[in-house]
Structure 1
Amino acid sequence: MTQPDIKALRAQTSVPEDNMALESINSEFADLFNQHEAEKPKIPGVVTGKIVSIREDLGYVVVDIGHKSEGQIKIAEFMSGGKLNIKEGDEVEVYAVLSPNADEEIEVSKRDADRLRVWDAISIACENDEIVKGRITQKVKGGLNVDINGVKAFLPGSQVDIRPSRNLDRFVTEDQDYDFKVIKFNRRRNNIVLSRRVLLEKDRAKLKSETMDKLIPGAILKGVVKNIQHYGAFIDLGGIDGLLHLTDMSWGRISHPSEVLGESAENSTIEVKVLRFDAKTERVSLGLKQLKDNPWDKVAENYVADQRVTGTVVSLTDYGAFLELEEGIEGLIHVSEMSWTGNIKKPERLFAKGDVVEAQILDIDIEGERISLGYKQTQENPWIQLQEQFHPGSVIKGPIRNITDFGIFVSITQEIDGLVHISDLSWTQKIKHPNELYKKGEVVEAVVLNVDVEHQRFSLGIKQLTPDLWETDIPRRYAVGRVVKGAVSKLTEFGAFIELEEGVEGLIHISELSEDHIKDPSEVVEIGQEIVAEVINIDRIDRKIGLSLKSTDVDAHADLLNYMEEEVADEGNFSTGIGGLEVGSEE
């Protein structure tokens, strides 16, 4: 048996010991290398550095981030309020990148590091549904720009407030921060979209339940004016809005909410009364004037009929002018109560909005909340003066101002006309229209018949300038029993009208046309035919003359007609000289 090789055995036993030592060395070296790599600044990225030097003379700060070379940062990035807020030895976070101009040199920036940290914070807030704070810097198209610690974000106009706001400029401030919710975040595109409305609605929902319990008709609450329209204002009562209508702002007359709330009323706090609340629709009606007593409650104490009052013209309409006597109390001066002469057809001829006017109370309707006023009652009544100046029977002269189918108007004064009715133009003449005799502007004389102050009527007559022929000549010329001549002017079913002279007619009833029974007057006479008839009746009051043909047959009295024509020719005037003979008398 051979002996083992001792050296070989030793060599074999020593190998494991050497390998273990080598592995231990390698492990320690790896740990040191990893530690060195971990401590080595990660570039590009945000790293912590130490300020080793502040060179104010050169305008930069030297920062050591543990790299082969140091970095320089503009001193302006460390200024706050005009003061430098660092010192040598302070640690700061900076953003470092390798310089593209030289190997192993770096470029560092504190501002970029701050911006990246803000981006990180915004990203976390977006993921965790958290709130971020920012300051609105300017108005842009579609919304507002917001600065979040140096990072620019966009706030759409629809997300600024609960209700769309027409005036976004009022949110741009230099000293006020707002809370926002991040609704869109894209770091790659540098796009951040915010919402303030989401937070407001969330807060509003919390307040709403509390406010709903207070919405009892008659309750007095405080609210913030949120939006003003021409018809009223929306008031935020805390989680729910109420409408303060224009008509419930003041007991007086107003045309726009700004007259009560002011020109810059939005966001101001006011006190209002709850008038109505519909829980289903969540509609709230509010009142401001209801905080004061209704002025109509004391009208009976403060105003009486015939009282003289002073008011301001607040409105003009076609039918009159409204005067405000006090807040909430108005009276109407109807157009008919503006002038004694009635010549005011449009109130603006006499008044203007804002005029202070004295008037007299004519009537008070408390239930209907109406006061009737008169302006003419404060002026001297010209009709009384006319009544004293022009007595019945006196004669006036004036131009014809107007002609109508029922008469002519003669100017008495500049504002008052007198009427000559068509029936007072002539005693006897039949006039279909006054323009047959007169023209506008023609000067005429007339007799004053009556001055009616109450109804404001001035009655005149022209025929009264001459005696009434029905009281003098006509009864004498057409006495009962006389035979007269005339022409048939009109036929009716009950008889024939005979024109005896201009303006004087007689009627032959159908029963007086013939001894025989006839059904129609045309069986005996025709229009235009000249006849002789007997006067059988005359009525001076009704101005009627009754005639008969029974005893005066035209054919049998041809010689009588000839005689009467000769008589008229001798007298020279048929209309005044026409006479007659007694039936059966001799010449």
Structure 2
Amino acid sequence: MTQATASAGDTASKESFAALLDESFGSSTNVEGSVLKGTVVAIENDVALIDVGLKSEGRVALKEFASQGQKAELKVGDEVEVYLDRMEDKNGEAVLSREKARREEAWTQLEKSFNENQRVTGVIFGRVKGGFTVDLSGAVAFLPGSQVDIRPVRDIGPLMGTPQPFQILKMDRARGNIVVSRRAVLEESRAEARSELIANLKEGQVLQGVVKNITDYGAFVDLGGVDGLLHVTDIAWRRINHPSEALNIGQTVQVQVIRFNPETQRISLGMKQLEADPWEGVEAKYPVGTKFTGRVTNITDYGAFVELEPGIEGLVHVSEMSWTKKNVHPGKIVSTSQEVEVMVLDVDPQKRRISLGLKQTMENPWANFVEKHPVGSVLEGEVKNITEFGLFVGLPGDIDGMVHLSDLDWEKPGEQALADYKKGDIVKVKLLDVDVEKERISLGIKQLETDPFAAAAGSIKKGDVVTCTVTAVQDGGVEVSVGEGMTGFIRKTDLSRERSEQRPDRFAVGEKLDAKVTAIDSKTRKVNLSIKAKEVEEDKKAMADYGSSDSGASLGDILGAAISRAQRDRSTKEEADEGTEE
């Protein structure tokens, strides 16, 4: 064969190959950038040699054939699809890529899913600014942080490396951008689950949910597409001041549907309803009069709540906290979490109330006081307080007694006598009365001395004519002193038998006069007197002594004689008094 013949043969052969190539792939321009099918002809170290029907094979790293986090399972003879970057590189080999082939395949399928609004499956494999990267069967997509879940996710670790459903929000093949959302899928599933749950929901149903949010008044529980409110009073039978004491966000809880309103779709949930009610048979467990030890759970202005057992609390009213500390805030007697002994005073199962007493577990100082100090005893104490109605005096046993204004002094008015005392004074008092039930002790200071009025009143009686001294002249009459320690009063109409003489201004302070005792009032400590009554009595006596209308004597004669006799008697008495004074 000549050289020319050989050259012509080679040329024909080359043209024939080119024609075959064009027939299979089109021009080289069309082949490059395409996905081709090839056969693994050899595996050398970490590289697979692949024949795609070109004049030279291409090399592809084995890791490109492996799934995320797994080893490549590839052997000689396997048929694979690869992407042709270039026909040949500087070594004359085809430049192939399995990843790009997968990406191209993925993009084609993803575009179809995007157009048909279908979900796609991917794996979260990396973290980037503002979100995460997702492998969608070879194509890399961006998952914004806000699109990971319906609620903020603190730890995404459990989601990474696990196939998850996603919704494509937008994609741009030219720029290679894909944005996906896991939240959209969850919301769609949640809506479906919500509809199914609402349709089958009924009161009394027991469900499992996740604590979604906690407020001061309760917790919102996600039941799987719909939220229900678990009020703080329905979390447990025991007292819970704040839901966070018993629940945490994200916690899985078992709840019972207490109320369900289909119109508003409001759901009320309870946890304590799944447990036995501790109030059942409470009267038998806590009989009135028995003592128990409990824990102070809450303190208010009106008392303290004591837990007898989980779910059973009783109130110790402020009036039942101490025998002696009456106007003290309960927080100064007990403290929260303190263990205290209490007595059951009353049980009301219907209202779920138990009344407790703290002071009843201690000795009653009032009963103890009356045993040691009988009525009539004389005691000494400090003036603790002064009020408008008397003195409060400290007594043994850390209790106080009261001296009323009327029991301060026999002579002085109460307000005037009160001014003689000040807080901190040590005084002697007499025990007048003790009322254990009302916790009252009545004391007296004036009772330490004899009542001068009583002593003076013992020397006179109603009907006696006494000599008294004018101490004050008033419009309604004359005030006088009678003997020692007695005050008397002569009303205007009793100043004289004659109307013209019934004038108080006829008398002067210090003037002595005789009057008849008409009444002795021990309560007001006053003696009522009458000059008029004395004159009438004298007239009757004169009539009896000096005659009557039958004897022929005139009334003037009788009265004149009687008056003369009275004047003589008065003169004789005054002379005797003067002699005594000398």
TM superposition score normalised by structure 1: 0.75
**2:505 alignment partner, one of 524, 529, 542:** 524
**2:527 alignment partner, one of 545, 564, 586:** 545
In 1, Cα distance between the equivalents of 2:126 and 2:512?
Answer: 112
Contact 1:51/1:62 (8 A) holds in 2: yes
Letter in 1 for 2:527: I
In 2, Cα distance between the equivalents of 1:233 and 1:124?
Answer: 44
**1:119 alignment partner, one of 87, 103, 107:** 107
C-alpha deviation, 1:468, in angstroms: 0.8
Contact 1:47/1:95 (8 A) holds in 2: yes
Contact 1:324/1:331 (8 A) holds in 2: yes
**1:327 alignment partner, one of 295, 307, 310:** 310
Q: Which residue of 1 aligns with 2:565?
A: none
**1:350 alignment partner, one of 321, 325, 333:** 333
Q: Do structure 1's residue 183 and structure 2's residue 183 form an aligned pair?
A: no
Q: Which residue of 1 aligns with 2:229?
A: 243
Q: Which residue of 1 aligns with 2:387?
A: 404
Q: Which residue of 2 aligns with 1:225?
A: 210
Q: Which residue of 2 aligns with 1:575?
A: none
1:439-478 to 2 correspondences below 5 Å: 439-473=422-456, 476=459
Change (3 A) 1:223 1:433: farther
Over the aligned positions, Cα root-mean-square deviation in angstroms equals: 4.1
Provide the identity percentage: 38
Contact 1:138/1:172 (8 A) holds in 2: no
C-alpha deviation, 1:50, in angstroms: 4.5
Letter in 2 for 1:221: V
**1:510 alignment partner, one of 469, 472, 492:** 492
C-alpha deviation, 1:86, in angstroms: 2.9
Once the two structures are superposed, what CA deviation does each residue of 1:91-122 show, in whole Å capped at 9, x if it has no partner?
Answer: 44444435999698765433343334333332
C-alpha deviation, 1:462, in angstroms: 0.9
In 2, Cα distance between the equivalents of 1:502 and 1:133?
Answer: 117
**1:38 alignment partner, one of 26, 29, 38:** 26
Q: Which residue of 2 aligns with 1:377?
A: 360
**2:201 alignment partner, one of 199, 215, 229:** 215
In 1, Cα distance between the equivalents of 2:109 and 2:189?
Answer: 24
Instruction: Report the 3-state secondary structure (helix = DSSP H, G, I; strand = E; otherwise coil) of the residue aligned with 1:275.
Output: strand
**2:467 alignment partner, one of 444, 468, 483:** 483
Contact 2:38/2:80 (8 A) holds in 1: yes
Once the two structures are superposed, what CA deviation does each residue of 1:253-298 show, in whole Å capped at 9, x if it has no partner?
Answer: 22344555x54653x362x433222222222223332334433332
> Higher mean Cα deviation, 325-334 or 340-349?
340-349
Instruction: Report the 3-state secondary structure (helix = DSSP H, G, I; strand = E; otherwise coil) of the residue aligned with 2:102.
Output: helix
C-alpha deviation, 1:475, in angstroms: 5.3
Unaligned runs of 5+ in 1: 1-27, 553-581
**1:586 alignment partner, one of 561, 573, 582:** 573
C-alpha deviation, 1:411, in angstroms: 1.5
Once the two structures are superposed, what CA deviation does each residue of 1:32-91 show, in whole Å capped at 9, x if it has no partner?
Answer: 5740552856223444444455443xx655555555665544454456667453344544
Contact 1:514/1:550 (8 A) holds in 2: yes
C-alpha deviation, 1:132, in angstroms: 1.4
Letter in 1 for 2:469: K
In 2, Cα distance between the equivalents of 1:222 and 1:124?
Answer: 40
Instruction: Report the 3-state secondary structure (helix = DSSP H, G, I; strand = E; otherwise coil) of the residue aligned with 2:143.
Output: strand
Letter in 2 for 1:441: G
Q: Which residue of 1 aligns with 2:74?
A: 86
**1:193 alignment partner, one of 179, 182, 196:** 179
Q: Which residue of 1 aligns with 2:274?
A: 291
Q: Do structure 1's residue 160 and structure 2's residue 149 form an aligned pair?
A: yes
TM superposition score normalised by structure 2: 0.76
Instruction: Report the 3-state secondary structure (helix = DSSP H, G, I; strand = E; otherwise coil) of the residue aligned with 1:472.
Output: helix
Letter in 1 for 2:257: V
C-alpha deviation, 1:363, in angstroms: 1.2
Contact 2:213/2:249 (8 A) holds in 1: no
Instruction: Report the 3-state secondary structure (helix = DSSP H, G, I; strand = E; otherwise coil) of the residue aligned with 2:371.
Output: helix
Letter in 1 for 2:238: G
1:487-506 to 2 correspondences below 5 Å: 487-488=471-472, 491=474, 494-495=476-477, 505-506=487-488
Change (3 A) 1:155 1:498: farther
Instruction: Report the 3-state secondary structure (helix = DSSP H, G, I; strand = E; otherwise coil) of the residue aligned with 1:586.
Output: helix
In 2, Cα distance between the equivalents of 1:295 and 1:478?
Answer: 75
In 1, Cα distance between the equivalents of 2:108 and 2:477?
Answer: 120
Once the two structures are superposed, what CA deviation does each residue of 1:560-582 show, in whole Å capped at 9, x if it has no partner?
Answer: xxxxxxxxxxxxxxxxxxxxxx9
Unaligned runs of 5+ in 2: 1-15, 535-568, 575-582
> Higher mean Cα deviation, 200-209 or 285-294?
200-209
In 2, Cα distance between the equivalents of 1:87 and 1:99?
Answer: 24
Tell me the matched-pair count: 519
In 1, Cα distance between the equivalents of 2:158 and 2:483?
Answer: 100
C-alpha deviation, 1:208, in angstroms: 4.5
In 1, Cα distance between the equivalents of 2:444 and 2:63?
Answer: 107
Once the two structures are superposed, what CA deviation does each residue of 1:332-372 show, in whole Å capped at 9, x if it has no partner?
Answer: 11111111223472222232222332211111222222111
Change (3 A) 1:468 1:372: same
Change (3 A) 1:134 1:498: farther
Q: Which residue of 1 aligns with 2:347?
A: 364
